[in-house]
């Protein structure tokens, strides 16, 4: 009997397949379809700090002030009223999702600053969410703000959220820290129960004909998985927090790599947008087939088997491998 079950955020999951936060997780019917296709848990689409602040109208007043003066300034900021679910509707949607399916539902907050919006962490808990994922999405642009300032803001935010809720807390991070292991340890001490690696920063493009900056969403590919594998493999066994991989998970092989690096779960969105929700069932079947062929009867047995602490050449995850890679490529050239 193949056992695909895993533990993540203190939750018993039937397999390591988790739908990451996306518009797909906003619709209750789609969440039902995901459950039917075999997903083990769903992270709801994010409730943004800006949406919560907009509810008080204070942010809206400052964002719109002066925009009528110049036509091009009307596009400086997104119209947050266009989001389908405001803060109150978001909380209602958690209850609806919990009633509709039997799998764990993880709420999602997206923000970076300390402030009144954090109170929604408690509201999400009270609405019935099994856990909370905080997506810290911040791009520093100030010349005056140091890396220490930014890291401390992350730690303070996690500590503040942790003090408000009892449910498990996951933190979704970017890879752009000078010392990611140290930062991970600091977040664990601040109260994080899991780390989700990594955030995907969407890069705008430039329209040369109209001389405009335009949004540009490019879905992930399996090639993006390597950065996640590297850091999960390095951190595995050195921290008590659970780790999740998100970004670049498209196939059963991608899931297996994530687990062997040390992740508890593998999260996906792009794969479902590209191949449909039913793709989950194919991945689940492929997982079972691979495990049968390679005589693994449990996900737990393979976790961390290819982490830095387990492989014969741990330097392969570090700089020492840099010269080997370049040399191997040179040797392959005709």
For residue 80, pLDDT over 80 is answered with no
What one-character-per-residue DSSP string does 207-253 give? Answer: ETTTTEEE-------GGGHHHHHHHHHHHTTT-SSEEEEESS--SHH
Give a yes or no: residue 326 inside a domain.
no
Q: Which domain covers residue 259, as residue numbers?
A: 6-304
Give a yes or no: residue 327 inside a domain.
no
For residue 321, pLDDT over 80 is answered with no
50-72 confidence digits (pLDDT tens): 888 776 554 444 444 544 444 44
Give a yes or no: residue 324 inside a domain.
no
- Directed axis angle between helix 28-37 and helix 87-100, to 10°? 40
Give a yes or no: residue 328 inside a domain.
no
277-299 confidence digits (pLDDT tens): 999 999 999 999 999 999 999 99
CATH of the domain at 257: 3.20.20.70
pLDDT band at residue 137, thresholds of 50, 70 and 90?
confident
157-195 confidence digits (pLDDT tens): 999 999 999 999 999 999 999 999 999 999 999 999 999
Which pTM does this prediction carry? 0.87
Q: How many domains does the chain divide into?
A: 1
Give a yes or no: residue 219 inside a domain.
yes
Give a yes or no: residue 113 inside a domain.
yes
Q: Sort 201 into a burial class: Cβ within 10 Å, 0-12 / 13-18 / 19+.
A: exposed
Give a yes or no: residue 183 inside a domain.
yes
Per the CB < 8 A criterion, the answer to whether 274 and 219 are in contact is yes
Q: Report pLDDT for 331.
A: 62
Mean pLDDT, the chain, as a whole number?
89
Q: Tell me how far apart the alpha carbons of residues 297 and 98 are, in angstroms, rounded to a whole number.
A: 31
Residue range 217-225: average pLDDT?
92
pLDDT band at residue 11, thresholds of 50, 70 and 90?
very high
224-277 confidence digits (pLDDT tens): 999 999 999 999 999 999 999 999 999 999 999 999 999 999 999 999 999 999
Give a yes or no: residue 97 inside a domain.
yes
């Amino acid at each position: 009997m193949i056992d695909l079950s895993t533990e993540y955020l203190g939750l018993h999951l039937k397999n390591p397949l988790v739908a990451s936060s996306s518009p797909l997780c906003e619709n209750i019917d789609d969440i039902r379809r995901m459950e039917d296709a075999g997903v083990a848990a769903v992270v709801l689409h994010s409730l943004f700090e800006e949406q919560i602040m907009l509810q008080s109208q204070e942010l809206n007043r400052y964002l719109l002030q002066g925009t009528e003066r110049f036509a091009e300034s009307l596009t400086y900021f997104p119209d947050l009223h266009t989001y389908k679910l405001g803060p109150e509707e978001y909380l209602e949607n958690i209850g609806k999702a919990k009633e509709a399916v039997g799998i764990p539902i993880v709420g999602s907050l997206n923000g970076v600053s300390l402030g009144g919006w954090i109170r929604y962490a408690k509201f999400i808990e009270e609405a019935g969410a099994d856990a909370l994922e905080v997506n810290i999405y911040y791009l520093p642009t100030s010349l005056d703000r140091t890396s220490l300032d930014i890291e401390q803001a992350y730690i303070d935010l996690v500590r503040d959220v942790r003090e408000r809720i009892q449910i498990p807390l996951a933190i979704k991070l970017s890879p752009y820290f000078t010392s990611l292991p140290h930062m991970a340890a600091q977040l664990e001490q601040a109260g994080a129960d899991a780390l989700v690696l990594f955030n995907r920063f969407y890069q705008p493009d430039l329209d040369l004909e109209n001389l405009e900056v335009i949004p540009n969403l490019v879905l992930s590919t399996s090639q993006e998985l390597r950065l996640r594998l590297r850091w999960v493999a390095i951190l595995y066994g050195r921290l008590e927090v659970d780790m999740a991989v998100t970004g670049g998970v498209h196939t059963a092989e991608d899931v297996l790599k994530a687990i062997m690096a040390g992740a508890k779960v593998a999260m996906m969105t792009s794969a479902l947008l590209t191949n449909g929700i039913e793709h989950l069932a194919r991945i689940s079947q492929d997982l079972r087939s691979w495990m049968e062929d390679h005589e693994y009867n449990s996900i737990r047995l393979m976790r961390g088997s290819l982490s830095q602490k387990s492989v014969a050449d741990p330097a392969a995850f570090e700089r020492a491998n840099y010269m080997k890679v370049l040399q191997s490529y040179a040797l392959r050239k005709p």
